[in-house]
Amino acid sequence: MSAFAFSGVNLAITTPFDAHGKIDYARFEQLLERYIAAGVHGFVLSSGTGMHVYLSKDESKQLVAFGAKVINGRARVIAQTSALLVEEVVERTRHAKDQGADGVMVLPPFFEGPTDDQGIVDFYSSVSEAGLPIIGYNVPQAVGVEVTPSLFKKLSEIPNFVSVKDSSGDLAAQASLVRTGLPTMNGADPLAPYALFAGAAGLIWGGANMAPKTCVALVNAAHEHNWEEVQQIWKSLAPVMSLIWQGDYVQSVYAGAEIMGYGAGNPRRPLARLPEEKIAMLRDALDPLMERELVMTL
């Protein structure tokens, strides 16, 4: 792995829920153990894939504390601490630090927050006071704020601001961030091998919930510059990673993980279980991965 502190596969892990919609901590511990055994390099707790926006502040903090305790240094811990109020982001970030997290992932101001560069810089400068490495989040289609190369350079001057996760899904835009020479992380599942070839420093990967061993193998091969192996592995991953990116992303990851034996229950309301016709499409796309994941276990 590279010297970048968050290289490799950082799994945006699903948050398991029981039949009553409560966090299932026993299942969460089981999933963490299985993903650690699969070689996952790091975890994003309370991630978007883990339904961060549908967790209360206390639930998110408890999830981070529990997950960090279970992981116990065996993989890195990134906590998402995004919130509407900057004071709450700082509070959540300080809590994550107290629990031993290695870093935090934070959305820029969203809803009706500032969208100008200085407003974004001021926001992350406030978060940096909590004292943990910060991974910014470029997802303009969702929050209306684009992290451009020039803004990335300004953000990198903030103490503790270490990277941007790019989930725009635009490889050309991500490549422009990579060309700044600053550590850029890919957060768009269908772009994983292309982003690594372009020089992405690490990945935050929700789709890896479904096939962790295969995703880790792809990233390890890329770090060894074995691009022929990367291409072969990607042939089995590409159909499902493209499919889940077309819509109903979180529901698709939950359903796909269930199919592959990494079930986390149903997504929390208001998200509904994926319709049966889409589950059938997922099964078809996952079929080649089932054999691969099984072989890698033997």
- The residues, any chain, with a CB within 8 Å of residue 198's CB and separated by 6 or more, are 171, 174, 175, 178
Burial zone of 286 (CB within 10 Å; 0-12 exposed, 13-18 middle, 19+ buried): buried
Token code pair at residue 233: 């592995």
Q: Which residues pair with 138 in a beta bridge?
A: 166
Q: Are 202 and 7 in contact (CB under 8 A)?
A: yes
Active site residue 154: no
| Active-site entry in 35, 61, 97, 165 | 165
Dihedral through CA 123, CA 129, CA 135, CA 136, nearest 10? 0
DSSP helix/strand/coil, 264: coil
Active site residue 137: yes
**C-alpha span between 268 and 117 (Å, rounded):** 34
Burial zone of 115 (CB within 10 Å; 0-12 exposed, 13-18 middle, 19+ buried): middle
Q: Are 49 and 267 in contact (CB under 8 A)?
A: no
Dihedral through CA 255, CA 259, CA 265, CA 270, nearest 10? 10
Q: How far is Cα of residue 217 from the mean position of the Cα atoms in its chain?
A: 17
| Active-site entry in 35, 137, 254, 262 | 137
Token code pair at residue 141: 């289609």
Question: For residue 57, which of 31, 42, 79 has the smallest C-alpha distance?
Answer: 79
Q: Which residues pair with 163 in a beta bridge?
A: 135
Instruction: Tell me which residues are annotated as active site.
Output: 137, 165
